[in-house]
Amino acid sequence: MSKMIFVNLPVADLPKAQAFYEAIGFTNNLQFSDETAACMVLTDEIYVMLLTHAKFAQFTTREIADSQKVAAHLIALSADDRAGVDTITDAAIAAGGREHRDPQDMGFMYGRAFEDLDGNIWEPFHMDMAAMQAMAPQTADA
């Protein structure tokens, strides 16, 4: 069985958050969704659980971070190419999210960052492994 990741995010408005994630390419798995949670699927291995604050609080005794004020995490998400980075980021902005910082182009890696409606920061990126290897210093055999 392959490994799966479930990112659990507290959200202020579950229907709005669900609509946002649908707008950027996730689909809702109704089997694991109700009025307190929405299971949003990106791939067979990547899921985002959108949880109302009351539901999220059932899993921790810690205060829920206000992601509009503090960065609790940076969620990096690989894309197949640079266009994929732009597609998801542009969709996030069109769906009410915000661009978190200017695009970063390092030659071998291109990335952008956006915030969802609750301020959670996503960093889609594309890494060109061939370009990265071409930049690596060449060593001579002794």
Instruction: Give pLDDT, residue 135.
Output: 72
Domains, the chain? 5-132 (3.10.180.10)
Q: CA–CA distance from 37 to each of 27, 29, 49, 93, 130 (Å)?
A: 14, 10, 7, 23, 41
Q: How far apart are CA 93 and CA 73, in angstroms?
A: 19
Instruction: Give pLDDT, residue 142.
Output: 47
User: Residues in the chain with pLDDT < 50?
Assistant: 142
Give pLDDT tens digits for 82-108.
Answer: 999 999 999 999 999 999 999 999 999
